[in-house]
Structure 1
């Protein structure tokens, strides 16, 4: 399998420059349990949905450049330029080709990526809801479609945490759903770990605030059941979304592997779209090439360029796809004895701590992960 260079720190440093500039401890295992009334997966293979408005829906994936807020004179200037560019691209989506029902932007169209410590990065985040979501909501209203975008987010209920959240704006311009990143990929660097807060990192607190149903939420819309994620190379996460009734899996990326998107759509029997940003090919990174994939693994549309901005479009026969459909047939019952004995290296809830103790850098995050690793010795990076 050809693996595109995923989330590499040298790339992030380059992006920043382009846009400007033994004591092993054990995190307690959750004692939370699922109440008898909570149904996460229907036992007969069906799943909740609402009636469709039409037989086919159009998805448009926005492949655009990324500019870090840290590269502008002021945060306000950066947000205005990035927002204006999103509006410009959305206008193209509305006026060229079929009318879109869903517009998908990538992971960082508003904020870009910023280097530095936790305190350095926090100013270069947005709030959800906030003025930015209100303005993007105007795009959704004007287009009469759903607009999806990723961003780094700050939230007063999670002080000093940097959240990776995908937000869905409805046709009425209001926030229809927010999707936290489920978990970060680990051990891909030798000297650091990703510091953003995910559901996994604060799972019990997240569950207490929002409910277990919100760990793998599915938005039931008149255009189909959609979910959004920035997770890569994690089959269990996407299987869980499929079990919950996802029909269209929208993905946002900082670089990605096409094979991952194809296999994930194929193995989970859903449509999937991946929005990536662009970089000059001279950088040596495989950016761009955003795709839309069918449940049988066929690529319905793909942008041909790694460095050119543009729009990827595909029509999905959602009514025909949904007809008599059930959730995928997984080998869970057969494999469950193995799964029950498996122990993840990194305990869940590893960022449930006072804000003053949150790791400030990727290096500090690695020290934390090493210190709580259940493996001896800790697993090493293999990428």
Structure 2
């Protein structure tokens, strides 16, 4: 009798737990469905403009890895000093900037090695670096944007790729996680940084679904920042959310990608690249600013020389009577609903000890969870 009573109690507890879990899931779905991510009438949220035309400056600079300095502190100090010098140059030469865009690695550079070897060569946001660089933004009275490898106590052992926007008051106005990494680019390895896609559910729970494709509404226009390359769906999502100026920090980019992305999504765009000697064979430099019609407004002529690219953006005229772009979503929806991407989302929402330590281990993880069997690789 006692045994039956205990079993009955356990059954009741499990039933209630399942019911609570389903209720929570339904509640979360209901809450998400109440959030308006895209307006049905094609309009989008914005704040009043301070001026009709703004000046965007893109900083094309060398990249120096923290791992190449005698100490991390010395490396950060030298790299920040160089950023400060260039910001002063941007402020004193040509038109006064409203937005200054640095590339993906002006502070930390790129470091090779295992996850644990790379982690020391990251920064925290906020941190002493953003505080110091915030002084640049305040003294220039402009937005300063830069990319960096970041560590965060909320995501232990993860290496994040984050773009930070410093406001005119010197404080952090917004941070943008990288949406996703390009995959199957290399034969033997994959990129190990953690993106929104890699921990999507945990990211949503922590920051909200509206922060997957955030847009910063400023007095100079609606801006978004991304390190993604060759991914039209990502940029279409940002455009649907009301982006007017898409600022990009991807390393060694392709000009065609930037031009087509701006043109197909009807927004201004810019790409900041770092410099490397031509002898390396990499597609460095040649940072650009592009109009919504795919016109290159400004381009640095060199792959290996540092410099500043600038352009005026008639943001008021562009914004007048503008709606979000027209996409062929309804007709293509049956295809999209059946498509399965090769690597499932949340692939890095795993215990710390299971996080891939190297690009080679990341590839092993991808191969093990791939939905495409066999995995096709380039010859």
Structure 1 length-normalised TM: 0.91
Matched residue, 1:236: 233
Distance 2:377 2:212 in 1: 28
Matched residue, 2:19: none
Q: State how 1:51-130 maps to structure 2 within 5 Å.
A: 51-130=48-127
Distance 2:251 2:234 in 1: 18
Distance 1:342 1:291 in 2: 34
- 1:381 deviates by 4.0
Distance 2:201 2:282 in 1: 37
Instruction: Tell me, yes or no, if structure 1 residue 370 matches structure 2 residue 375.
Output: no
Contact 2:213 2:238 survives alignment (8 Å): yes
Contact 2:32 2:209 survives alignment (8 Å): no
Aligned residue for 1:40, secondary structure, equals: coil
1:195-236 Cα shifts (integer Å, max 9, x gaps)? 000000000000000000000000000000000000000000
Aligned residue for 1:64, secondary structure, equals: strand
Q: 1:381 to 1:199 in 2, by over 3 A?
A: farther
Contact 1:217 1:227 survives alignment (8 Å): yes
Matched residue, 2:338: 341
Instruction: Tell me, yes or no, if structure 1 residue 212 matches structure 2 residue 213.
Output: no
Q: Structure 1: which 5+ runs fail to align?
A: 1-29
Match 2:142 to one of 135, 140, 145: 145
Distance 1:242 1:380 in 2: 32
Q: Structure 2: which 5+ runs fail to align?
A: 1-24
Distance 1:252 1:99 in 2: 22
Matched residue, 2:222: 225
Aligned residues: 353
Distance 2:377 2:182 in 1: 13
Instruction: Tell me, yes or no, if structure 1 residue 171 matches structure 2 residue 194.
Output: no
Instruction: Tell me, yes or no, if structure 1 residue 330 matches structure 2 residue 332.
Output: no
Matched residue, 2:261: 264
Aligned residue for 2:275, secondary structure, equals: coil
Distance 1:82 1:171 in 2: 21
Aligned residue for 2:323, secondary structure, equals: coil
Q: 1:381 to 1:349 in 2, by over 3 A?
A: farther
Structure 2 length-normalised TM: 0.92
Contact 1:345 1:379 survives alignment (8 Å): no
Contact 2:269 2:290 survives alignment (8 Å): yes
1:276-322 Cα shifts (integer Å, max 9, x gaps)? 00001111112100000000000000000000000000000000000
Let me know the Cα RMSD of the aligned residues: 1.1
Larger Rg, first or second structure (1 or 2): 2
- 1:380 deviates by 1.8
Structure showing the higher helix proportion among its residues: 2
Distance 1:339 1:131 in 2: 44
Match 2:309 to one of 287, 291, 312: 312
Aligned residue for 2:62, secondary structure, equals: coil
- 1:36 deviates by 3.3
**Bigger relative CO (Cα 8 Å, ≥ 6 apart):** 1
- 1:35 deviates by 2.8
Contact 2:166 2:172 survives alignment (8 Å): yes
Match 1:185 to one of 182, 185, 199: 182
Contact 1:148 1:166 survives alignment (8 Å): yes
Aligned residue for 1:39, secondary structure, equals: coil
Instruction: Tell me, yes or no, if structure 1 residue 45 matches structure 2 residue 42.
Output: yes
Distance 1:253 1:37 in 2: 33
Q: Which runs of 4+ in 1 moved over 2 A?
A: 30-36
Match 2:198 to one of 188, 198, 201: 201
